[in-house]
Amino acid sequence: VTTPPPGDVGCILVAAGSGGRLGADRPKAFVELAGRTLLEHATSRVLGGGLVGTVVVVVPADLVGRLPERPGRRVVAGGADRRASVAAGLAALPDGIAVVLVHDVARCLAPTSLVGEVIAALRRGHRAVVPGLPVADTIKQVDGRGFVAGTVDRSSLRAVQTPQGFDRELLARAHAAPPGVPPVTDDAGLVERLGEPVLVIPGHRLAFKITTPDDLAHAGWLLAPA
């Protein structure tokens, strides 16, 4: 794998979820946090390092017209689930993009440094790279009656985040494969099904997913001036 120049790196920013669990009056991407939308927070952090040349923003179909396209930004309609939304973003990537990041707008505080570390690992020749954090809690499997069925050895577990980075050809091939059972919940899962290696690099606490009103409040505290 050759080192991609910045213009060869694209990012699919998936923002087409309804955000129902957030209880907001608008899709999550357009919810405000410290005066900016979650989409603006995510975009500025992705672009901040000057390493990403193109962002494809995937939003609910009825909101496509609300975001003007700019140089380096395309806006497309999402699909019924996250996988379909990523596929729509992939289809809209311009020619010449060799390396693709897939990032959830819900993880809008993921720092520019993390974006850079994912890209750096891709530049070292890895074709699929995900950030992940060790799991702090003890994880138990529970049976249908609520009793513990087993305790998982947490030392090998990682809670994975986005941005996840891929060689474009590999990600396209992973998305072209038939959906398996159970459905995968991230892009790395599709690559794993191809039997291809996925490197896990250290994640970042700020890359947490904003899902509930509590998460949004937490993000607001993190951004509050001291």
Q: Which of 9, 11, 14, 100 binds ligand C5P (CB under 6 A)?
A: 14
* Alpha helix positions (H), the chain: 38-47, 82-91, 112-123, 168-176, 187-193, 213-223
| Residues 198-217 interacting with ligand C5P (rule: CB under 6 A) | 211
Q: Which of 78, 132, 165, 189 binds ligand C5P (CB under 6 A)?
A: 78
Q: How far is the CB of 187 from ligand C5P (least distance, A)?
A: 11
| Residues 19-58 interacting with ligand C5P (rule: CB under 6 A) | 28, 58
Q: Which residues pair with 102 in a beta bridge?
A: 12, 164
Q: How far is the CB of 125 from ligand C5P (least distance, A)?
A: 28
**SS3 at position 107:** helix
Tokens 């809209």 sit on residue: 92
Extract the tokens encoding 218. Answer: 């937490």
With respect to ligand C5P, which residue has the nearer C-beta, 63 or 106? 106
Stretch that binds ligand C5P, among 104-112, 124-132, 194-202, 216-224 (CB under 6 A): 104-112
**Phi-psi category of 23—alpha, beta or left, where left has phi over 0 and alpha has psi -120 to 50?**
left
CA dist 196 and 214 (Å) reads: 37
Per rule CB under 6 A, is residue 163 in the interface with ligand C5P?
no
Backbone angles phi, psi at 142, to 5 degrees: -125, 140
CA dist 15 and 18 (Å) reads: 9
Stretch that binds ligand C5P, among 43-51, 63-71, 78-86, 140-148 (CB under 6 A): 78-86
Per rule CB under 6 A, is residue 74 in the interface with ligand C5P?
no
Q: Which residues pair with 76 in a beta bridge?
A: 58
Stretch that binds ligand C5P, among 9-17, 111-119, 133-141, 191-199 (CB under 6 A): 9-17
- In the complex, the residues that contact ligand C5P under the rule CB under 6 A are 14-17, 28, 58, 78-82, 85, 104-106, 211
